[in-house]
Amino acid sequence: MCGIVGLFLKDPALEPDLGRLLADMLVVMTDRGPDSAGFAVYGGGDAGHLKVTVRGPRLDEVEDALAGIARAVRRDTHLVLSFAVSFEEQVRGWLALHRPDLVVTGSGQRIELYKEVGLPRQVADRFALPAMAGTHGIGHTRMATESAVTTDGAHPFSTGRDQCLVHNGSLSNHRSLRRRLEREGLSFVTDNDSEVAAGYISWRLREGDSLTTALEAGLEDLDGFYTFVIGTENGFAVMRDPISCKPAVMAETDRYVAFGSEYRALVGLPGIEQARIFEPEPAHAYVWERN
Amino acid sequence: MPAFDLAVTTRRELNAALHALPANTNETHWHVANPEGAHALAAGVNAPVTIEIDGHAGYYCAGMNQLATVIVNGNVGVGVAENMMSGRVHVKGDASQAAGATAHGGLLVIDGNASARCGISMKGVDIVVKGSIGPMSAFMAQAGNLVVLGDAGEALGDSLYETRIFVRGAVKSLGADCIEKELRPEHEEILTKLLLDAGVEGVSPQEFRRYGSARGLYNFHVDNASAY
C-alpha cells in the first residue's frame, strides 16, 4: 500500500502556500505509507539555468568544489545545485569523477526532488517542505511490501528533465520493459518497477508523444496495476490502470486541481467544500497544463 | 438526539457508542458532524437507529450494517455498506468503488453515481443507483437486485449468478455469461417496489431493461460427470 498526493495550482496567489498544503496532504497519507516519503516541487527557475538535486553524504565538499559555477541550496541530505546550462557537462563530469556515491534525484529547469526514509511528517520537516513555494508538486508515502525500506526505493522517480512520477501499485513486466528502454538509451538507478514506469513515460515524451498519448500508450505496454501521478515542467497528469485497482480521488476548483489516494488527504485544501470531487475513470488520461 | 463532532471526538468513540446500543434504545437519531473522509464510520451497527452523517465519508461506511438507517449527506469512499445484512443506507452524493460489496440484505440507495464494481459479489442486498455505475459492476453477484437509473460501464454482470440487474440507460458492454432477459410482470413488480422504497418518482418500470445470468458458467455440466 502507498499514498499519493498531488497539487497543481491554477491561481498564482496560492503559489507561496504550495509546500504547506502539500505537506499537510502528505502527512494525512501516513497511514498508507509510514516507512518513507518523497516529493517533487516545481518552484522557481530560469530558462538559461539548470537545477540538479543530489542526495548523499558530505555535501559541503560538493558545495565548495562547485562554488565557482553553481549556487547550492542545502536541505538536510539533499543539495540543489543551480547553474547556467553551459556548465552542465562540467558539473555532471565533476560529480561522476569525484562523487559517484551521490544520487541525482532529479534535474530540470524547475524541479526539486527530495526523498527519505521515515514518517512523512519527519521527511516533510527535514526538507522544510511547508516553506516551499511553487506551481505544482507531487508527493508519495511508501509502505514497502516487496522490497527493502531504502531511500532509493522511495518515490518520486525522475527519469527526464523536469519529469517525475509517483506510483501506487506494481508492474509485472518491468524487467522486459527495462531491457527495451535500455536499448533505447535510458538508464536506471534502482531495481524499482516504478522507476521503469517513469522511464517509459520519459521515453514516450522523448519520442514526441504528448503526456496524454504517452499515458495511453502505457495502457498497452505496462502490465500490472497502477495509479500514476506525473509532473512535468508545466503539466500534471493522472492515469489509472484499466481495472482501477488502486484508489484515487480528485478535487478541482478555479484555483487548483488536487489528487489524493483518499479523500481525507484533500480535506484541508481551501474551498474544498465547493470543489468538484470526482474519481478518475480507469484507463483515461487526465492532463492539466499551464500555458 | 446524540451528536458527535468528529473534529472533537474520535471515530472510535462514535463507533463504540453505536455498538453499545441495545435493540430497544431510545436514542434513535444520531448526528455526526465533520466526518472529513474518515473510514469505517458507523460500521458494524446492530440496532434500529438512524445515523446521519453530514459530509463526506471514507472507506467502508456503514459496513456490516444490521437494522440501522445510515444517511450520508455527501460522498462515500470504497465499500459503502459492504456486507450489509439489513437496514438502509442512503448516500446523497457519489459512491466510490465496490458499493454494497458482498451485502446480504437491506437497501442501499445512491443518489449520485457509483464507480467500478458496484454490487460486486452481492448476496441479497437491493441496490438503487440514481446516477450511473462504473465498469465491472455486479461481478459474480449472487442474489438481490441492482437497479440503475443511468448507464452501466464495461463488463456488467461478469460471471453472474442469480442477481437481477435493471438498467434504464445504456450498457457499455456485458461481461461473460451476462445476457439481456425479458422484463416480465413479476420484474416490473420488483422494480415498482424498489423505486418506491428509494424515493424515485416519475420513472416507469418499463423504462428498464433486465440483465441476468445465462447460467452457462456456474452450473454443473453433465459432460463433466466422468471427471469425478
Tens-digit pLDDT profile for residues A201-219: 999 999 999 999 999 999 9
Write out the three cell numbers for B192.
415498482
pLDDT digits (tens, 9 = 90+) for A152-203: 989 999 999 999 999 999 999 999 999 999 999 999 999 899 999 999 999 9
pTM over 0.90: yes
Binding-face residues of A in 226-265 toward B, CB within 8 A: 243-244, 247, 249, 262-264
Distance from CA of A290 to the nearest CA of B (A): 29
Instruction: Quote the domain boundaries for residue A10.
Output: 2-44+133-289
Assess if residue A116 is contained within a domain. no
Residue A269 has pLDDT above 90, yes or no: yes
A-B contacts at Cβ under 8 angstroms: 43
Judged by CB atoms closer than 8 Å, whether chains meet at A277 and B56 is answered as yes
Are A219 and A195 within one domain? Answer: yes
Between CA A81 and CA A59 the distance in angstroms is 11
Question: A267: which chain B residues are within 8 Å (Cβ-Cβ)?
Answer: 36-37
Question: How confident is the model over A131-147, as a mean pLDDT?
Answer: 91
Domain that holds residue B132: 113-216
Best mutation site among A279, A281, A284 for testing chain B: the one with the most B CBs within 10 Å?
A: A279
Looking at the structure of chain A, the number of domains it has is 2
Residue A51 predicted with pLDDT over 90: yes
The verdict on residue A81 lying in a domain is: yes
Note the pLDDT of residue A144.
82
Q: How far apart are CA A238 and CA A224, in angstroms?
A: 16
A20 and A35 belong to one structural domain: yes
**Do both A17 and A150 map to the same domain?**
yes
Contact yes or no for B15/B40 (Cβ under 8 A):
yes
User: What digits encode the pLDDT tens for the residues B172-228?
Assistant: 999 999 999 999 999 999 999 999 999 999 999 999 999 999 998 887 777 777 777
- Grid-cell match 501506487, residue found: A168
Catalytic residue positions of A, numbered: 2
pLDDT value, residue A220: 97
Regarding whether A214 and A193 lie in a shared domain, the answer is yes
Q: Which of A267, A278, A281 sits opposite B37 (nearest CB)?
A: A267
Q: Are A178 and A229 in the same domain?
A: yes
Which of A243, A267, A277 minimises the CB distance to B136? A243
Residue with cell 442512503: B90
A90 domain residue, yes or no:
yes
Q: Do B78 and A279 touch (CB under 8 A)?
A: no
CATH number for A178: 3.60.20.10
Is residue B1 included in any domain, yes or no? no
CATH number at residue A97: 3.30.70.260
Q: Decide if B47 is inside a domain.
A: no
Q: Which residue positions in chain B have pLDDT lower than 50?
A: none
Under 8 Å between Cβ of A50 and A109: yes
